[in-house]
């Protein structure tokens, strides 16, 4: 005889309470998308200020301040940038001590068509403008393509700063070379100095933290565990998520699961000794950009999950995480119907999206009714 | 200066050959789908005979022989079955020593509306009929629902036989009870005797191998490693893939990532001590049925990957595997446009699909031109 639903439920609850179960509320995924600001010109990244207002980069070389009403204002004191192809302004992050020191970090394309590279600019935000700004890192060597800059920034728990760099498209072999800073994750101190404990102090660039990357445009550090998640655009069928550890070689272009967009092989190999396999692979490619680790209270079932923007698929992919591993993938926010350039989990406990167009939007994800 | 494509490719090849790389040819995924037989009435499972011909079960209680031309013939000597709801004939597998002993195993619904359960029938295939047939297992206790039978069979490398059983829909609490054989993986010897090394010799049913399952309709054993992969229908949002180890509790219905199709909670918990987390989770549900581990030569890039049929999604999901972990999911064969009931990797080196309808098809996947 089947036990009734109610008796059963009560029994299970008792059983689990007695056994010291880890509880995780499981509510329906009802959300609403709220447009905070629109009319943004190819916005690339956002950072939320302690006031709840926002800084947003536009690829064309503008940094915007956006208030709670969605009013935008251009911030002065930004660096000159090389705007072409994929080049321009990229990421914006606040120093962990921002409330005290007002420091912000901006990554961007520096140089000219003939000689350009990804760079990092540091300044203080004061009176609505950047002051005391200076370039604290410029990727070496320079390149002559306007593509594959990488450009994501993230602070590690130890206060050092990571920058992802692309391999410049025509220079993919450089991702395997420790003499080039292209196709790497670089690590510097907050003022640009090189940490003494970087993994390659005596071979090539001492700023290199990991190598063998193609064009990483997603980087998030789990403040609870220190785990560093990075995703990168692969060739067709080769977009990857990786957990980054210092000195690791992530294989590009020696190994890849993708093929060139022309259909040509990049490499006949998908694995090799000493090269890391991806923790997740997107087949087909989604063109990932931006990534957030959800630590909010509004959606308990999203706790600890990764959210990845998709340019080509025009949606967000939720990667359900358990003990650092992906156990499910779930498409969300398809109704936005635009390329997603950035996904951020902001200090106010909300997830935010930036859409990539010349009429781009900043969107807040809030609980549904 | 960028190195040319050609020089670069040659250099990489040399580098990798010198470093003792594991090679894996990476060809385009060009395939063709070839209909072997049609007009099958809700076919459930298939086994390929050493002759290259096929045995196919139909849910209505028929076992078919299908020759190379797709001609079907009904095989006599099958057991009586209870045909209702999800009940009828389920799986068909050959004994590992089939070329010598001719033994086949068939799982099916045994009994009546008031009292039925999943059972296993063993017989010899001789002269186009089953002879010496007898029931070697009947799940205890019986139930009065025509749902959630499980019903997949697979031999372990040690020659014992696994059977998946469902929890009968109205009896879900029984999946957590070692006194009931519902919602379990059971393990028996080839003749139905109970192996002495089963994990629960003195508690409830000694045939139990693992528990806490809902309705598992996919089971595959990796002959190379002995790894047992099982998938099961969850409630909405709770379809799971698990690696099965003896004595493990897979949590249903105490923990689940899904909700009832009515929208009601099954359990407020997604994790608990002593209960396994899924290795993969389908969100939303795909209604998985049938599973194959690809070990063929025609599609080197599929080597070692799992292929799962989807009833609701009417496609096959390829799970790209690395070291026993899912690193990507890829939808395939959407053009079939029918519910997929079974996916098998056959001894002839090809992948086969069975579509679930009253005009079902047996389909062979072959390389494209």
Among A366, A348, A353, A243, CA closest to A302: A366
| pLDDT, tens digit (0-9, with 9 covering 90-100), for B173-197 | 999 999 999 999 999 999 999 999 9
Q: Which of A42, A148, A213, A257 is flagged as catalytic?
A: A148
- Tell me: pLDDT of A18 over 90: no
CATH code for the domain of A160 = 2.120.10.30
CA distance B332 to B334: 6
**Residue A26 near residue B235, CB atoms below 8 Å:** no
Closest B-chain CA to A257: B26
Give the residue-averaged pLDDT of A275-289.
93
Give the residue-averaged pLDDT of B337-348.
97
Interface ipTM? 0.76
At B26 the pLDDT is 32
CA distance A310 to B224: 37
Determine, for residues A268 and B26 on separate chains, whether the beta-carbon distance falls below 8 Å: yes
Give the residue-averaged pLDDT of A108-117.
98
Q: Chain B residues with CB inside 8 Å of A273's CB? A: 19-22
Above pLDDT 70, what percent of chain A?
Answer: 92
| Residues 292-351, chain A, touching B (beta carbon < 8 A) | 301, 320, 322-323, 325-330
Give the residue-averaged pLDDT of B269-296.
94
**Residue B330 near residue B337, CB atoms below 8 Å:** no
Instruction: Kindly state the tokens that stand for B116.
Output: 């039925």
Closest A-chain CA to B272: A21
Going from the C-alpha of B67 to that of each of B42, B71, B123, B207, the distances in angstroms are 18, 5, 20, 36
B196 has a chain A CB within 8 A of its CB: no
Going from the C-alpha of B298 to that of each of B291, B295, B368, the distances in angstroms are 18, 9, 10
Give the residue-averaged pLDDT of A84-93.
97
Q: How many domains does chain B have?
A: 1
Q: pLDDT category, B260, cuts 50, 70, 90?
A: confident
Would residue A16 count as lying in a domain? no
At A29 the pLDDT is 56
Q: Chain A residues with CB inside 8 Å of B274's CB? A: 19
In terms of C-beta density within 10 A (0-12 exposed, 13-18 middle, 19 or more buried), how is residue B158 classed? exposed
Determine, for residues B259 and A28 on separate chains, whether the beta-carbon distance falls below 8 Å: yes
Would residue B168 count as lying in a domain? yes
At A2 the pLDDT is 45
- Tell me: pLDDT of B266 over 60: yes
- Tell me: pLDDT of B23 over 50: no
- Tell me: pLDDT of A84 over 80: yes
CA distance B71 to B165: 32
Q: pLDDT category, A27, cuts 50, 70, 90?
A: very low
At A19 the pLDDT is 42
CB nearest B173 (choices: A3, A257, A267): A3
Would residue B337 count as lying in a domain? no
Q: pLDDT category, B59, cuts 50, 70, 90?
A: very high
- Average pLDDT score over chain B: 91
Give the residue-averaged pLDDT of B100-105.
98
At A11 the pLDDT is 52
B284 has a chain A CB within 8 A of its CB: yes
Residues in Cβ contact with B291 at an 8 Å cutoff, skipping those fewer than 6 apart:
B218, B219, B220, B229, B231, B306, B307, B308, B309, B343
At B27 the pLDDT is 37
Q: Reduced to 3 states, what is the DSSP secondary structure of residue B116?
A: strand
* Distance linking the first and last C-alpha atoms of chain A: 39
At A26 the pLDDT is 32
CA distance B255 to A22: 10
Range of the domain at A92: 27-367
- Tell me: pLDDT of B4 over 60: no
Buried b (16+ CB within 10 A) or exposed e, B237-275: bbbbbbbbeeebbbbbbbbbbbbeeeeebbbbbbbbeeb
A148 given a catalytic annotation? yes
Give the residue-averaged pLDDT of B106-127.
97
Would residue A5 count as lying in a domain? no
Closest A-chain CA to B278: A327
Among B354, B77, B267, B5, CA closest to A25: B267
B260 has a chain A CB within 8 A of its CB: no
Would residue A4 count as lying in a domain? no
How many cross-chain Cβ pairs, A to B, lie less than 8 Å apart? Answer: 134
| Residues 19-38, chain B, touching A (beta carbon < 8 A) | 19-26, 28
Closest A-chain CA to B7: A173
Q: Chain A residues with CB inside 8 Å of B259's CB? A: 26, 28
Determine, for residues B273 and A320 on separate chains, whether the beta-carbon distance falls below 8 Å: no
| pLDDT, tens digit (0-9, with 9 covering 90-100), for A136-166 | 999 999 999 999 999 999 999 999 999 999 9
- Nearest-Cα distance to chain B for A19, in Å, is 7
Q: Reduced to 3 states, what is the DSSP secondary structure of residue B120?
A: strand
Closest B-chain CA to A26: B268
A127 has a chain B CB within 8 A of its CB: no
- Average pLDDT score over chain A: 91
Buried b (16+ CB within 10 A) or exposed e, B200-211: eeeeebbbbbbb
Q: pLDDT category, A350, cuts 50, 70, 90?
A: very high
What's the CA dihedral at A165, A168, A173, A175 to 10 degrees?
0
Q: Could you tell me which residues are beta bridge partners of residue A362?
A: A37, A354
Determine how β-strand A215-221 pairs with β-strand B288-293.
unpaired
Determine how β-strand A116-126 pairs with β-strand A103-111.
antiparallel
- Tell me: pLDDT of B171 over 60: yes
According to the 3-state scheme, what is the secondary structure of chain A? CCCCHHHHHHHHHHHHHHCCCCCCCCCCCCEEEEEEEEEECCEEEEEECCCCCEEEEECCCEEEEECCCCCEEECECCCCCCCECCECEEEEEECCCHHHHCEEEEEEEEECCCCEEEEEEEEEEECCEEEEEEEEEECCCCECCCCCCEEEEEECCCCCEEEEECCCCCCHHHHHCCCCCCCEEEEECCCCCCCCCCCCCCCCCCCEEEECCCEEEEEEECCCCCCEEEEEECCECCEEEEECCCCCECCCCCCCCCECCCCCCCCCCCCCCCCCCCCEEECCCCCEEEEEECCCCCCHHHCCCEEEEECCCCEEEEEEEECCEEEEEEEECHHHCCCEEEEEECCCCCEEEEECCCCEEEEEEEECC
Would residue A13 count as lying in a domain? no
Would residue B223 count as lying in a domain? yes
| pLDDT, tens digit (0-9, with 9 covering 90-100), for B224-258 | 899 999 999 998 878 999 999 999 999 999 998 88
- Tell me: pLDDT of A267 over 50: yes
Would residue A18 count as lying in a domain? no
- Tell me: pLDDT of B14 over 50: no
Among B271, B278, B171, B182, CA closest to B231: B278
At A3 the pLDDT is 45
- Tell me: pLDDT of A247 over 70: yes
Determine, for residues B329 and A329 on separate chains, whether the beta-carbon distance falls below 8 Å: yes
Instruction: Kindly state the tokens that stand for A309.
Output: 């923007």
Q: DSSP string covering B297-339, please?
A: SS-GGGTT-EEEEETTTTEEEEEEEETTEEEEEEEE-GGG-S-
């Amino acid at each position: 005889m089947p036990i009734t639903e109610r008796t059963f439920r009560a029994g299970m609850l008792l059983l689990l309470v007695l056994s010291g179960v880890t509880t995780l509320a499981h509510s329906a995924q009802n959300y609403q998308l709220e447009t905070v600001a629109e009319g943004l010109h190819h916005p690339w990244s956002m950072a939320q200020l302690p006031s709840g207002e926002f800084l947003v980069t536009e690829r064309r070389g503008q940094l915007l301040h956006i208030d709670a009403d969605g009013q935008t204002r251009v911030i002065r004191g930004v660096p000159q940038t090389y705007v072409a192809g994929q080049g321009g302004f990229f990421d914006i992050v606040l120093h962990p001590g921002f409330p005290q020191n007002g420091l912000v970090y901006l990554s961007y394309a520096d140089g000219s068509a003939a000689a350009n590279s990804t760079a990092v600019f540091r300044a203080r935000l004061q009176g609505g403008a950047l002051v005391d700004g200076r370039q604290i890192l410029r990727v070496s060597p320079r390149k002559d393509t306007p593509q594959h800059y990488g450009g994501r920034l993230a602070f590690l728990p130890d206060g050092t700063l990571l920058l992802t760099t692309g391999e410049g498209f025509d220079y993919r072999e450089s991702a395997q070379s420790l003499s080039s800073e292209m196709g790497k994750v670089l690590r510097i101190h907050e003022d640009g100095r090189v940490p003494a404990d970087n993994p390659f102090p005596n071979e090539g660039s001492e700023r290199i933290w990991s190598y063998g990357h193609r064009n990483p445009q997603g980087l998030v550090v789990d403040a609870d565990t220190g785990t560093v998640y990075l995703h990168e655009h692969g060739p067709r069928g080769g977009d990857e998520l990786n957990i980054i550890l210092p000195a690791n070689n992530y294989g590009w272009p020696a190994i890849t699961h993708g093929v060139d967009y022309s259909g040509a092989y990049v490499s006949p190999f998908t694995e090799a000794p000493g090269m890391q396999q991806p923790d997740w692979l997107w087949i087909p490619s989604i063109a990932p950009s931006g990534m957030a680790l959800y630590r909010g209270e509004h959606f308990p079932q999203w706790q600890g999950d990764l959210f990845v923007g998709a340019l080509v698929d025009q949606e967000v992919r939720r990667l359900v995480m358990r003990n650092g591993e992906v156990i499910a993938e779930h498409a969300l926010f398809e109704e936005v119907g635009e390329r997603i350039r950035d996904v951020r989990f902001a200090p106010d406990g909300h997830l935010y999206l930036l859409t990539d167009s010349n009429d781009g939007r900043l969107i807040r994800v809030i609980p549904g009714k």
